[in-house]
Structure 1
Amino acid sequence: MTASKLDPITRLIHHPYEPPAGFEAPQPGIFKASTVIFSSVAAMRSRDWKNKAGYTYGLHGTPTTFLLEERLCALEGGAHCLLAPSGLAAIATVSLGLLKAGDEVLLPDNAYGPNKALAEGELAGWGITHRLFDPMHPQDLADKISARTRLVWLEAPGSVTMEFPDLCAQVRMCRERGVTTALDNTWGAGLAFNPFDLDAGLGVDISVQALTKYPSGGGDVLMGSVITRDEALHLKLKLSHMRLGTGVGANDAETVLRSLPSIALRYRAQDQAARELARWCESQPQFVQVLHPALPRSPGHAHWQRLCGAQASDPAAGLAAGLFSVILDPAYSSGQVDAFCDALELFKLGYSWGGPISLVVPYEVASMRPHWPAHLARGTLVRFSIGLEAVADLRQDLERAWQTALRE
């Protein structure tokens, strides 16, 4: 049909102009699509959504999401990647894709709270049982693996309380028993250690990240990833991912793609700032315990040093993210702890981490764990996520806020 004979509105929609090929810029082009156009019926029928040889529908991938998936695989040392609309959605993709009624999943008792809530809620309702294991005693994990165990979740370090487990021993025990391992690698971010590195004694089956944190880096995106090396395992997860319909938007993918080139710089800067502040907190009498894997007195420090230090020429220089927790002397009331958090000005009250603004959240450990861990001091826990502010300013904020709390 001759374009000149078409109505102007139709010409606007079906305009024949195509820009010339060969354009290159520092940032990749962004492709937004639900519908994908095929050249023929034969092409439509021959296209397979399960691989990246072509495109079928926006939910199954565009050049933008394929590019992000491949870059994330390069970051973590994987071969196959799925994107999900949040870190929790990525966790759910794994559990829902691999478990069925009658199966059992094991989780560390210091696991990310929503992962435990998923096991206690939806998974239990579908006839999938779960048990918690002590992440600081590998034999407890070995003793709890049963004939029904199909999946073991791992974290390094633990959520909020920051213990660093003997991750290599945990993976080895699961591999010897033929049980699939899934690591929440949000803290490591593909930088502190390689989760698939067999030479380091690891080699997890699945690595999950909340891209919301360090890969995004701006506190403005919700996204998650599921990375594997095994093609059959990836396909099993991909089929479940398709049936659940958990896609991501091109604008969010673009934001993560823009941030990825700077992730190593941001991670190291926030790591160094967190260590400096954590060491300062160790000198303050109100903090009876400082939980940071790189500090010698923190639970699991030797495991962190063995795994993350192996990546550096100096074992003490291994990476450790910008996150740490403190436990305040139980002599101080919960009201004083809340007043301390409220009085902070540069540290903002908010969940998540990895962004440019420092954050603080108080937690009640007793409500999060089945029993009080022997390696944790008694008292109220406060977690700090360090942003990109000057360390001296953050330290002054902590000092001033504590003086305010003492007047409460």
Structure 2
Amino acid sequence: MTEKHQQATQIVSAGRDKKWTKGVINPPVFRASTIVFDTMEDMRYAAKNKTNGEMFYGRRGTPTHFAFQAAIAELEGGFGTALYPSGAAAISATLMSFLKSGDHLLMVDSVYEPTRDLCTKLLAGLGIETTFYDPLIGAGIRKLIKPNTKVLFLESPGSITMEVQDVPTLCDIAHEHGIVAILDNTWASPINSRPFELGVDISIQAATKYIVGHSDVMIGTATASEKYWPQLRENSYLMGQTTSPDDVYLATRGLRTLGVRMAQHEKNALKVANWLLTRPEVDHLRHPAFETCPGHEFFKRDFSASNGLFSFVLKQGDSASVTALLENMSHFKMGFSWGGYESLILSYFGIDGIRSATKWDSSKPLIRLHIGLEDPDDLIADLSAGFDRFNAALAAKVK
């Protein structure tokens, strides 16, 4: 059986232990706060095994949660998975599980903007220092490590500008100094890279996106190695992190079609991306599967496939012309997030304002696309009409 076939089977089978599914295909939704016990012996047993899949208290989880946690841990290749009400909550709780006042954090400069704000606002107020680093720094990260550096945070590819990091090199250096390596692995999902094989200690998913796949649930996961799982699990519990069993059920159901959806997202996106290469308005693509994307060589080495999310940079344009491009689309919608079945389009101005370790040329507008499950020819026609509006707006400005 090939690796691809093994993974496809794993996606369908992971987390389906009968003690959680109770013999049905999908784990039932267990809604619970208080768990009651018939005897003191039963209560003591539950308390002793509360972190090993025994029902103890609703915030510790139910079989609905346990099944999903087991599935994600297996697919990502980690030891245990904690659940959170959003991807942002997964990031913040994970960081706060391993940082305290006086510690130093190394944060990639291309990170998701709310994560940057978390560092500069909340963590700074707690006495935690952050140094932002170039996503392509590689072995140069050694120069930024301090005696109090406790966490190295990676996001590969990076939000918006899509730089792919040399994850194994960065993780190896982190481990030389006893630093915890944490990766936002949402772009790859649990199936297009093997973070723990690359040296990552904790892998985070905004499961809101590809795992759920239908733009109707907020949920996050953090999967840890055996070494760091107890600390992540207990600190997240102490912070009151929990998720609705109904949301977990929907995430589990979405997970079962992840493989086929990701393959179609990738196929559609590659067709649209190759068409964009023919457009005179496009300066270059920021798609990890293309050579024009910084860190493309690491994508080829560390990823098994791509997905539907990428960006492209225009040769010119202003607010009015880019607005004309984005508005009045038939299939692309403007909205935040990504990973659902629908196609999305957004423009980003002022990227230089959310960079501190690297520079960005904001004179050339960047457009981010999420390519959904529509017919790609319809999406290409939609973008073509958008470029017509874009060019008309530029021409009107010249007049």
For residues 8-407 of structure 1, what are the structure 2 equivalents within 5 Å? Answer: 24-48=23-47, 50-197=50-197, 202-231=198-227, 233-308=228-303, 318-330=304-316, 332-364=317-349, 365-370=351-356, 373=359, 378-407=363-392
Q: What amino acid sits opposite 1:185 in the alignment?
A: N
3-state SS in 2 of match to 1:238: helix
Distance apart, 1:125 and its partner CA: 0.4
Q: SS of 1:401's equivalent? A: helix
After superposition, what is the alpha-carbon deviation per residue over 1:202-231, rounded to whole angstroms, capped at 9, x for unaligned?
A: 121100000001110000110000101224
Cα deviation per residue 1:261-308 (whole Å; 9 max; x = unaligned)?
Answer: 110110111011111111111111111111001012221111111112
What CA deviation, in whole Å up to 9, does each residue of 1:72-101 have, x standing for no partner? 111111110100000010001111111100
- Paired residues of 2:134 and 2:357 also in contact (CA < 8 A): no
Shift in alpha-carbon separation, 1:53–1:356, aligned structure 2, 3 A:
closer
**1:222-256 deviation per Cα after TM superposition (whole angstroms, max 9, x unaligned):** 0000101224x211112211111110001101101
CA contact (8 A) 1:47 1:55 kept: yes
Contact 2:329-2:386 within 8 A present in 1 as well: yes
Q: Distance in 1 between matches of 2:274 and 2:171?
A: 31
SS of residue matched to 1:248: coil
Query: Structure 2 CA distance, aligned partners of 1:291 and 1:272?
Result: 17
How far apart in 1 are the matches of 2:359 and 2:119? 21
Q: Is the 2:92–2:118 Cα contact (8 Å) retained in structure 1?
A: yes
Q: Which whole-Å CA distance do the structure 1 matches of 2:169 and 2:363 have between them?
A: 28
What is the rounded CA distance, in whole Å, between the counterparts of 1:76 and 1:46 in structure 2?
30
Structure 2 distance, partners of 1:256, 1:158, is 24
Instruction: Give me the whole-angstrom Cα distance separating, in 2, the residues matched to 1:372 and 1:147.
Output: 24
Please state whether the residue corresponding to 1:407 is helix, strand or coil: helix
Measure, in 1, the Cα distance between the counterparts of 2:165 and 2:138. Answer: 8
Give, in angstroms, the shift of residue 51 of structure 1: 1.4
Q: Indicate the SS of the match to 1:324.
A: strand
Would the alpha carbon gap of residues 214 and 38 (structure 1) be closer, same or farther in structure 2, given more than 3 Å must change?
same
Q: Which moved more, 1:24-33 or 1:286-295?
A: 24-33
1:55 and 1:145 map into 2 onto residues whose CA distance is 42
Aligned counterparts of 1:124 and 1:134: Cα–Cα separation in 2 = 20
1:273 partner letter? N
Cα distance in 2 for partners of 1:382, 1:23 equals 47
Identity over the aligned pairs, expressed in percent? 33
Shift of 1:156: 1.0
Give the unaligned 5+ runs of structure 2.
1-20, 394-399
Structure 1 stretches (4+) deviating beyond 4 angstroms? none
Task: Give the residue type in structure 1 aligned to 2:374.
Answer: E
The TM-score normalised by the length of structure 1 is 0.88
Counterpart AA for 2:204: V
Query: Considering only CA atoms, is the larger Rg found in Structure 1 or Structure 2?
Result: 1
Equivalenced residue count is 371
Q: Which whole-Å CA distance do the structure 2 matches of 1:148 and 1:74 have between them?
A: 33
1:347 Cα deviation from its structure 2 partner: 0.6
Instruction: Provide the secondary structure at the position in 2 that maps to 1:348.
Output: coil
After superposition, the CA RMSD in angstroms is 1.6
Give SS of 2:89's match: helix
- Whole-Å Cα distance in 1 between the matches of residues 335 and 59 of structure 2? 31
